Amino acid sequence: MPTAVGTACTLIGLLNVAAGVFPRFRHSRMHALAEVLPGAVSPLAAAASIVVGLLLLLLAHGLKRRKRRAWVAAVALLPLGAVAQFAYRHSVFGAVLSLALLAYLVRHRREFAALPDPRSRWKALLNFVVLGGVSIALGMVIVNSHPHRTVGDPSVWAELQHVVVGLFGFEGPVAYTHHVDYTVGYSLGALGLLTLGTTAYLAFRPEQPVARLTEEDEERLRELLAKHGRRDSLGHFALRRDKGAVFSPSGKAAVCYRVVSGVMLASGDPIGDVEAWPGAIERFMEEARAHSWTPAVMGCSETGGEVWTRETGLDALELGDEAIVDVADFTLSGRAMRNVRQMVKRIERNGYETRVRRVAELSAEEIQAVQRAAEDWRGTDTERGFSMALGRIGDERDGDAVIATAHRAPEDGEAEGPYGDLKAVLHFVPWGTDGMSLDLMRRDRSADPGMNELLIVAALQAAPKLDVARVSLNFAMFRSALARGEKLGAGPVLRTWRGLLVFLSRWFQIESLYKFNAKFQPRWEPRFVVFRATRDLPRIGFAAMQAEGFVQLGLPRLLRRRSAEPVARPCAHQHTGLRGASVERAA
């Protein structure tokens, strides 16, 4: 029913806009009554109808999501819209429809109790650009909707000038007869006031902070990871400081999340004792219901997916596979490892050497050099990563993390680079006490190809000295479809699906990540996306792409506020990278 309410609100909003933009019916039965009203009523009613219509269009999505503030605003606007339609367009149908929706909203007011979403300042600029564009477009329609009352034949440029200055409340170059200039002027002024007013409200309203990991929550999560961190290779990524956390009533489990475009997006499995997972999941779902967010989980394990679906009634879909290498079984010998072995030997002959150390073993100068190099070698305008990226390097609280670096001294006559002999960096986060998970890969563009292979081999060979028995590499999306689709006897549907994935790999790292991971002969662990309904999948996918940094809807780079520092409280600098995000660039 909320969907129907939102649709009805959209329809009424369009009717209000149309009623204010187009001239009234001169031969309506109500025209005689309207003629006895004061002269200012008609143009004011036209302006009010347009403003109310646009506001109802903006509120329709909030009503679909049962937002309380959208309900309050709609209840206040619908009577005004009904009066405006009746006074200017003499539309009995539009007025009755508005009042009918008002009656329904009042009767079912308890259903609209969802709390507001986290918000940020960039929405003010987005509102100004979008609503300003809509106002100019509507203004052009308004200016041209009275062809028989226009003096002369004004040019398009004159009409545009009239719209722009009219939005600021001034009279433009286009003239009208029969007092139509008042109607057009009031309508344009109302549009300008609406654009300015809503933008000012979004810019200066008290800011409600988005999800952030507090120091207390981080400490509790670290305690849970110390006891149960071995269970999930993605557990340490829950310590990203741009996530929020909800804990089970017992405090023995937690779900970490971020809200993106109305989607409450969790990543990986819940943290903590498996027996306490249901309590944390219930708190997560309660939070989603309270705000009318769409719940979703990205990259949970098979066990996690079973618990999520059992406790919530949600559905699960296999998303891809995680490549995991058991250190005891890894070797460069054999025909299967021939290409990797030859590549590593070739790079070593070119004078490269590797170092694999815990973060705590690096000096402050070395950490700063790694941070600066990773920043400059990123290759994208924005950091990427959410579900499988920590978002920082060198934090003193992440001393157990592992950094693998490749070095090459400059040859005679060759200038030293801005980072000395540093040529490539791999960063791993802890996976319990005996494992580590690949966080990011960065390399100097001038370095020899194969830096990532070199450092992964170096990390695997150094793992026994670090008491590491398992290494989680990249996540390969839709790996099983790619693997089965190229086998002999694959059916037409599977081959078509594989062909589509290969085609999409031109823009997204799908096939390249799979082939890169397969070089190291890993075992594959499936990962799943958990969702409420199939119709939510496009929205969840778009939100996930925003969270991972593949889609950016924020302010232009030059206008962004420099507010990242408070997010990384004790961290020197932030570096995010979706696991494997540099494979395509480095391969």
CB 251 within 8 A of CB 292: no
Please write the tens of the pLDDT for every residue from 382-403.
556 677 888 888 888 899 999 9
pLDDT in tens, the chain (587 residues): 667 877 888 888 787 777 767 655 444 444 444 444 444 456 677 777 777 777 888 788 778 777 777 888 888 888 887 887 776 666 677 778 888 888 888 888 877 777 666 665 567 777 788 888 888 888 888 888 777 778 888 888 888 888 888 888 778 888 888 777 777 887 888 888 778 777 776 665 555 445 677 889 999 999 999 999 999 999 999 998 888 899 999 999 999 998 888 889 998 899 999 999 999 999 999 988 888 889 999 999 999 999 999 999 999 999 889 999 999 999 999 898 999 999 999 999 998 999 999 999 999 888 998 988 888 887 665 556 677 888 888 888 899 999 999 998 887 667 677 788 899 999 999 999 999 999 988 988 888 888 999 999 999 999 999 999 999 998 888 887 777 777 666 777 777 877 887 777 777 677 788 888 889 999 999 999 999 999 899 989 888 888 877 666 554 444 444 433 333 333 333 333 345 444 433 33
Give the helix/strand (H/E) hosting 128: helix 122-144
Give the helix/strand (H/E) hosting 265: strand 263-267
User: How many helices (H) does the chain have, and how many strands (E)?
Assistant: 19, 12
The dihedral region occupied by 509, where left means phi > 0, alpha psi between -120 and 50, and beta the remainder, is beta
Distance between CA 13 and CA 19 in Å, rounded?
Answer: 10
**Residues in CB range of 106: below 8 A, 6 or more apart:** 75
DSSP string, 354-401: EEEEEGGGS-HHHHHHHHHHHHHT--SSS---STT--S-S--GGGTT-
What pLDDT does residue 560 have? 45
Give the helix/strand (H/E) hosting 514: helix 511-518
What pLDDT does residue 577 have? 39
Nearest CA among 545, 540, 543, 564 for reference residue 212 = 564
**Residues in CB range of 150: below 8 A, 6 or more apart:** 174, 175, 176
Place of tokens 């098979």: 302
Distance between CA 167 and CA 193 in Å, rounded?
Answer: 7
Please write the tens of the pLDDT for every residue from 341-355.
999 999 999 989 999
Distance between CA 294 and CA 237 in Å, rounded?
Answer: 22
Burial class (CB in 10 A: 0-12, 13-18, 19+), 531: buried
CA angle 92, 93, 98 (to 5 degrees): 100
What pLDDT does residue 531 have? 94
What pLDDT does residue 43 have? 67
Distance between CA 425 and CA 423 in Å, rounded?
Answer: 7
DSSP string, 177-212: STTHHHHHHHHHHHHHHHHHHHHHHHHHSPP-----
**Residues in CB range of 162: below 8 A, 6 or more apart:** 143, 154, 172, 173, 174, 188
Half-sphere exposure (Cβ direction) of 518: Cα atoms closer than 13 Å: 13
Half-sphere exposure (Cβ direction) of 53: Cα atoms closer than 13 Å: 27
CA distances from 312 to 218, 224, 269, 282, 298 (A): 26, 23, 14, 8, 15
Angle between helical axes of 2-21 and 41-64 (0-180°, round to 10)? 160
DSSP 419: T
The dihedral region occupied by 292, where left means phi > 0, alpha psi between -120 and 50, and beta the remainder, is left
Nearest CA among 90, 88, 181, 93 for reference residue 142 = 181
| Partners of 326 in beta bridges | 470
What pLDDT does residue 413 have? 65
CA angle 314, 317, 321 (to 5 degrees): 135
Distance between CA 67 and CA 63 in Å, rounded?
Answer: 6
